[in-house]
C-alpha cells in the first residue's frame, strides 16, 4: 500500500506557465487537503475537499484551483504561476470520522522563476 503519493517530486517553472501538481491516495479517504509550507510560516491550507465532487477554500486559495472527480485523486493547478508560489506543497488525506488524523504525502518542491 503506497498511502499517498505526489508528483512531481520537484519542479522549476517559469512565471506565467500553468502547472498541475498531482496527488493520489489509496486509502479510500473521503477528505483531502493541499497545504503549502514556506520558511518561517509553517503549513498553510490552500484548498480542501470533504468528498468526491466537493471542494472548499482554505487560508490561502488565491492563484490555485482544485478538482475532485473521484475519491483517489486531488490535483492542484496553478493557472499562471508567480514567484510567490515558490514553496513546498503537501497533499494530505483523512477519513470522515470526527477525530481522524491526516496522512501527508512526501511533498512537491516548486520553484517559480
Partner 1 sequence: DAKTTQPPSMDCAEGRAANLPCNHSTISGNEYVYWYRQIHSQGPQYIIHGLKNNETNEMASLIITEDRKSSTLILPHATLRDTAVYYCIVRVVWAGTASKLTFGTGTRLQVML
Binding site for partner 1 (CB under 8 A): 30-31, 33, 35, 40-45, 48-51, 56, 58-59, 90, 92, 94, 96, 98-107
Minimum distance from residue 53 beta carbon to partner 1 (Å):
12
- Quick count: other Cβ atoms within 10 Å of Cβ 101? 9
- Quick count: other Cβ atoms within 10 Å of Cβ 24? 19
Helix (H, G, I), strand (E, B) or coil at 59: coil
The total number of residues written for the chain in this structure: 113
Minimum distance from residue 81 beta carbon to partner 1 (Å):
22
Nearer to partner 1, 31 or 112 (CB): 31
Nearer to partner 1, 64 or 90 (CB): 90
Q: What's the burial of 6, exposed, middle or buried (CB within 10 Å: 0-12/13-18/19+)?
A: buried
Minimum distance from residue 63 beta carbon to partner 1 (Å):
19
Amino acid at each position: 500500500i503506497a498511502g499517498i503519493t505526489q508528483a512531481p517530486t520537484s519542479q522549476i517553472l517559469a512565471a506565467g506557465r500553468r502547472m498541475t501538481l498531482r496527488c493520489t491516495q489509496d486509502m479510500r479517504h473521503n477528505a483531502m487537503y493541499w497545504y503549502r509550507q514556506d520558511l518561517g510560516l509553517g503549513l498553510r491550507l490552500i484548498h480542501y475537499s470533504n468528498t468526491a465532487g466537493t471542494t472548499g477554500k482554505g487560508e490561502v486559495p488565491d492563484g490555485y484551483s482544485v478538482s475532485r472527480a473521484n475519491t483517489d485523486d486531488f490535483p492542484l493547478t496553478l493557472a499562471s504561476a508567480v514567484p510567490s508560489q515558490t514553496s513546498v506543497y503537501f497533499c494530505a488525506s483523512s477519513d470522515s470520522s470526527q477525530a481522524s488524523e491526516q496522512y501527508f504525502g512526501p511533498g512537491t518542491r516548486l520553484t517559480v522563476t
